[in-house]
Amino acid sequence: MTIGSLIEAPSEFTDSSSGKSAIVLMTRIRLARNLAGHPFPGWAKPSEREKVLESCRSVLISTPLLKRGLSVGVDELGELERRILVERHLISRELSGSKQGSGVVISKDQTVSVMINEEDHLRIQMMRGGFQLKKVWGAINELDSLLEDSFDFAFSPSLGYLTACPTNLGTAMRASAMMHLPALVIASQMEKVVRAVNQLGMVVRGLFGEGSDASGSIFQISNQTTLGESEEEILKRLSGVLQSIIEHELNARARLLESDSGKLFDKIGRAFGILQNGHVLSSNEAMNLLSLIRLGVDLGIFPEARRCVTDRLFIEAQPGHLQYAQKAEVDAGQRDLLRADRLRSEFANFPRPDFSLSANGKN
């Protein structure tokens, strides 16, 4: 598979059919693994990096899950191609800016990606739409065990999997959920949530922006610690935290509808108007408008079948995707025009909001 055909193909993110849910957009688990007896990538000589890259690429591309996917060195990718992979969460920003001797292998359906010579020799990652921690863990655990047949992973009985940074020791697992929390943002409760979640040893990050006012109200919640607990225990704890955030978001929505439905409907109605008619839209503004439309879907104001449109546009309105579609690098001002064009045409045939339905909105 080539990078071009990968970009054109539907991804887990942009695909409409996979189990989308109202609040958890995506579940993701990442495992860090290193090869015993080899220096970590940040300390390895260029020739050592190349050797590790070559041997990892050839093993990975022959495993069943990755067989028909893309295997590519970072230096073979153009600037825009790298950006697209970052925007789709298939590679990290760190890898996209890395020097020679690093690469990535991505499955055809773009649910699995393995970064080679990022901070660790291997960063194995698996994503699924919706809230699916158990399923993703089952699948990535199996892939990891399969890779044991080909690699001797650096491991210590007392410290677990040995990673370049001690913050990843032990399970070397980072599990996360991407959550859409518009009501908590509107009600200015995100800061409180971030604090509470931190206290429980979990980390909250804005996905497209920063801190408690992330654009699009999309947040990534993940475990911070990796040593001293089993994978199952970490996932159980994370799952409990996610469940309670979902409850808080649902409560915040109920309260908004009860106390201030006029204001909430006004926001959603205006978002619809701007998306249908705007001519200049920054990335940040577009994310926030799309977030309101998505909330409208949750409340029954727009049909459920349109949820996939907002989820796809969250990614496709990003700068890399916009420029790739245009087949050129375009400056930020020009991009805002392009983005508005794109959104106007996507929303031209979008059903009008129906505010009478909201009382029996789902969830």
Partner 1 sequence: MANPIKCDICSKPATVHLTQILDNKVHKIDLCEECAQEKGVTDPSGFSLADLLLKASLNPEATAGGMRCEQCGFTPVDFKKLGRFGCPACYIAFKGILDPMLDGMHKGVVHAGKVPQRAIERRSLHERLSKLEGDLSEAIKAERYEDAARCRDEINQVRQAVEQKPQRQER
Q: What residues make contact with partner 1 under the rule CB under 8 A?
A: 34, 36-40, 42-43, 86, 92-94, 119, 141-142, 144-145, 148-149, 151-162, 164-167, 169-171, 173, 195, 198-199, 201, 203, 205-210, 214, 224-231, 233-234
Q: Rounded to whole angstroms, how far apart are CA atoms 259 and 269?
A: 18
Shortest Å, Cβ 204 to partner 1: 10
Q: Are 70 and 88 in contact (CB under 8 A)?
A: no
Shortest Å, Cβ 263 to partner 1: 29
What φ, ψ does residue 257 adopt, rounded to 5°?
Answer: -65, -35
Shortest Å, Cβ 230 to partner 1: 5
Shortest Å, Cβ 34 to partner 1: 6
Q: Rounded to whole angstroms, how far apart are CA atoms 355 and 308?
A: 20
Q: Toward partner 1, which CB reaches closer, 233 or 247? A: 233
Buried b (16+ CB within 10 A) or exposed e, 321-333: bbbbeeeeeeeee
Q: Toward partner 1, which CB reaches closer, 296 or 319? A: 319
Q: Toward partner 1, which CB reaches closer, 131 or 208? A: 208
What φ, ψ does residue 103 adopt, rounded to 5°?
Answer: -165, -175
Of residues 216, 310, 246, the one with CA closest to residue 23 = 246
User: What is the identity of the amino acid at 236?
Assistant: K
Shortest Å, Cβ 351 to partner 1: 33
Q: Toward partner 1, which CB reaches closer, 171 or 358? A: 171
Shortest Å, Cβ 93 to partner 1: 5
DSSP bridge pairs for 125: 30, 113
DSSP result, 140-155: HHHHHHHHTTT--B-E
Q: Toward partner 1, which CB reaches closer, 100 or 167? A: 167
The end-to-end CA distance of the chain, in Å, is 40
The DSSP 8-state label assigned to residue 330 in this structure reads -
Q: Toward partner 1, which CB reaches closer, 11 or 92? A: 92
